[in-house]
Amino acid sequence: MYGNTSFGGDTEKVTLTPEQRQTLREDLASVAARTRDLLPGEFVVGSEISDGEAGPRATIAVQPPVGSVVSAGYAPEDPESATITADERDDLAQGIAASAALQVKQVMGDDPTPTAQ
């Protein structure tokens, strides 16, 4: 699952081997790199893997030049699915980049003042 919504019921805690955790870390780094490619340099992109009640949780966050941080999370449902597929990586990167760009647009409004004439 990714996002902030859990669609399942109560589940057992997922435990990953060091190799599975490393694979998840590499997948997350790939999402962060792809997100950086999609956004201008003024956007700061970061990622982390933390341990939660249900197991590891991968989080990617973008700090736009103005506005609030935008983040998305991914939690494997079981050790066998502890990877983020290529399609999911692209989807996450594009989604978080679009959300961060929208955040800037909402803060700036529809009538920005030109900086030079």
> What was the pLDDT predicted at 1?
46
User: How many domains does the structure of the chain reveal?
Assistant: 1
**Is residue 6 one of the residues assigned to a domain?**
no
**Is residue 1 one of the residues assigned to a domain?**
no
**Is residue 116 one of the residues assigned to a domain?**
no
> What was the pLDDT predicted at 26?
94
**Is residue 56 one of the residues assigned to a domain?**
yes
Around Cβ 89, how many Cβ atoms within 10 Å? Answer: 20
Q: Which amino acid is located at 27 in the chain?
A: D
Question: Tokens at residue 103, please?
Answer: 């955040």
> What was the pLDDT predicted at 13?
81
**Is residue 109 one of the residues assigned to a domain?**
no
> What was the pLDDT predicted at 37?
96
**Is residue 112 one of the residues assigned to a domain?**
no
**Is residue 45 one of the residues assigned to a domain?**
yes
Digits of tens for pLDDT over the chain (117 positions)?
445 555 555 557 888 889 999 999 999 999 999 999 999 999 999 999 998 888 888 999 999 999 899 999 888 887 777 888 899 999 999 999 999 999 988 888 776 666 665
The domain that holds 56 is classified in CATH as 3.30.160
State the Cα–Cα distance between residues 66 and 49, nearest whole angstrom: 25
Structural domain boundaries, residue 86: 18-103
Q: Which residues of 32-55 are buried (b: 16+ CB within 10 A; e: fewer)?
A: bebbbebbeeebebebeeeeeebb
Q: CB–CB of 36/61 below 8 Å?
A: no
**Is residue 34 one of the residues assigned to a domain?**
yes
